Amino acid sequence: MKLFYSFTSLLLSVTGYSQENPYRFSDDIKKEVADSTQSQSWRSQMGATYYSISGQYQSALESWDITFGRMKKLTAADSLKYSKLTPANAKDYILKRVRNEQIVIINEAHHNASHRTFASSLLQGLYDEGYRYLGIETLANDSLQHIGKFATLSSGYYSKEPEFGNFIYNALKIGFKLFPYEAEGNNKEREIGEAKNIFDFMQKNKVGKYLIYCGYQHAFEGTHKSWEKTMAGRLSDLTGINPFTIDQTQFSEKSDMKFHEPLLRLIRNTVPVVLKDENQGIYNGEDKELYTDVKIIHPITKYVKGRPNWMLTDNRKLYKIPASEVSEYPALIFAYRKEEYEQKGIPADIIELKTSKDNRYLILDKGNYDIVIKDREYKVMNRFEKTIK
C-alpha cells in the first residue's frame, strides 16, 4: 500500500474544497469524506488534513489512523535497548548542534499541527545562530508577492492551518526571508526539482544559513526505494554540504496508544526530546538505509481546558469566549490578528463549539485580535475585539 499521495495529487484533489471554505464544521468534514468515491486511503489522509486545517487535532490523528495505524508490539529486546537511552531536551540539543551547520532540514506529518509548533519554537534560536532563509514546501510559487507580515489563504495549502500560519508569522516577524521550492512531478522527478529550486535560491542568497521545512521523507538521507535519493540527499549532492536532518514523524503520538511506536511507551517525556546512548551519541532509529541525523520524540498530548497542552508555549494564554457572545450553536470561533481577517489571513486559532457546554477556550499569543464567530451556514453572526496582555 502506498503510504501517502503526492503533494501535487493531493492539491488537485482538494482544490474545490480549499477554494470553497478551508475551515469546516467537523460534521461537514465527516460527511464529505464519507460521501467521497475515492479510495479508503485517500479518504483517511484527506480527512486528517481537513480536520487539521480546521483545528481538530485529535480527529486528524484518528482519521489518519483509520488506514495508516499499525499496531506494534514491544519486545523484550526493544525494552532492553531503549532502557539504555537517555532523553535530552530536543530544542536545546538542536540549537547547540546547528551552530556548526549550514543547512538544517526538518520535516512534519502534514496532519500533525504540533510539528509546526515545535519548528516555530526553534526559529529565534536559529536566527541567532545565523540562519536567515526559510524554504517551505507548501508555499505557492507566486506566494511571496502576497506575503508581507503574515500568510494568507493564497500562500499555500497546508499553511491554511492555524499553527502553520503562526509558524510563518513568527518567521517573518523574526526576520527570515521565506522562499518556495515546490517542484512539479512525482517521485524521483519531484525530489530532483525541489533540490534544484533550493540550490538555485542559495546561489542568489549566500549571506546566511538555510532552514528547509518539508513533509515526511523529503528530509531523509540515504537510499529511497522509489526516489533513489530524496530532496535532502540531492541537495547535498548539489551543494557539497551535508545537511543536518531532523525527523518529527516516526516518534509522534497516534490517535490511540496501540498505534504508538514501542519507544513512546517507555519514554515518558513531557517535552520533545532526543535520545542519547551510553557514548552520548544520538539515537536516530533502526533504518540505516534511509535515515535522519536526529529523531524527535514528541510527548503524548495532555489537554488543558480541552486544548492540546503543546499549544501553550511561553507567551500564549488561554482565553475563554464569553457565553454572551455566542447566540446559537454549533459555532466556529476564529481569532484573527488585527486587520488580518479582511486580508484573508490565517486565523491564529480556531475552535468549534457544538453546544453551550463545550470548552470554549482559545489559545493566543499577546496582541490585538478580531474574534469572528460563524454559524452553521458559515455566516458571521458576531464579531468583537480582544486584547491579550
Half-sphere exposure of 220 (CA within 13 A, CB side): 22
The per-residue DSSP string of 52-112 comes to: HHTT-HHHHHHHHHHHH-------HHHHHHHTT-EEEEHHHHHHHHGGG-SEEEEEE-TT-
* Cell numbers that stand for 13 in this block: 484533489
Over residues 359-383, the pLDDT tens digits come to 999 999 999 999 999 999 999 999 9
Residue 297's DSSP bridge partners are: 273
Cβ proximity of 190 and 183 under 8 Å: yes
Mean pLDDT computed over 321-335: 98
pLDDT tens-digit series, residues 208-257 = 999 999 999 999 999 999 999 999 999 999 999 999 999 999 999 999 99
pLDDT recorded at residue 351: 98
Grid cell listed for 111: 496532519
CA distance to 43, 149, 156, per residue, from 145 (Å) = 33, 11, 12
Can you tell me the distance from the alpha carbon of 59 to that of 47, in angstroms, rounded to the nearest whole number? 9
The half-sphere exposure of 122 on its side-chain side, counting CA atoms within 13 A, is 30
Residue-level pLDDT at 20: 62
Whether the predicted pLDDT of 304 surpasses 90: yes
Contacts (Cβ under 8 Å, ≥6 apart) of 170 = 120, 123
Kindly report the three-state secondary structure assignment for every residue of 339-373.
Answer: CCCCCCECCCEEEEECCCCCCCEEEECCEEEEEEE
Q: What is the DSSP string of 252-291?
A: S--SSGGGS-GGGGT---SS-EEEE-TTSPBP--S-SSEE
Residue ranges with strand state E in 137-248: 177-180, 209-215, 221-222, 244-247
What pLDDT, on a 0 to 100 scale, did the predictor assign at position 12? 44
pLDDT recorded at residue 83: 86
The answer, yes or no, to whether residue 143 has pLDDT greater than 80, is no
The helix/strand/coil state of 307 is: strand
Nearest Cα neighbor of 104 from 154, 50, 176 is 176
What are the residue ranges spanned by the domains of the chain? 7-68, 79-295, 315-388
Distance, CA of 290 to CA of 230 (rounded, Å):
9
Please write the tens of the pLDDT for every residue from 28-60. Answer: 999 999 999 999 999 999 999 999 999 999 999
* Alpha-carbon gap, residue 295 to 273, rounded angstroms: 9
The three three-digit cell numbers of residue 257, written as one number:
496508544
CA distance 373 to 302: 26
Task: Give yes or no for a contact between 331 and 374, defined as CB atoms under 8 angstroms apart.
Answer: yes
pLDDT tier for residue 2 given thresholds of 50, 70 and 90: very low
List, in order, residues 6 or more apart from 41 with CB less than 8 Å away. Answer: 1, 2, 5, 67, 68
**10 Å Cβ neighbour count for 151?**
29
Phi first, then psi: what are they for 155, rounded to 5°? -75, -30
Instruction: Specify the amino acid at residue 1.
Output: M
Q: Are 309 and 332 in contact (CB under 8 A)?
A: no
Q: Does domain 79-295 have CATH number 3.40.30?
A: no
pLDDT, average across residues 187-214: 97
Confidence of residue 142 (pLDDT cuts 50, 70, 90): confident
Residue type, 40: Q
Q: What is the overall mean pLDDT for the chain?
A: 93
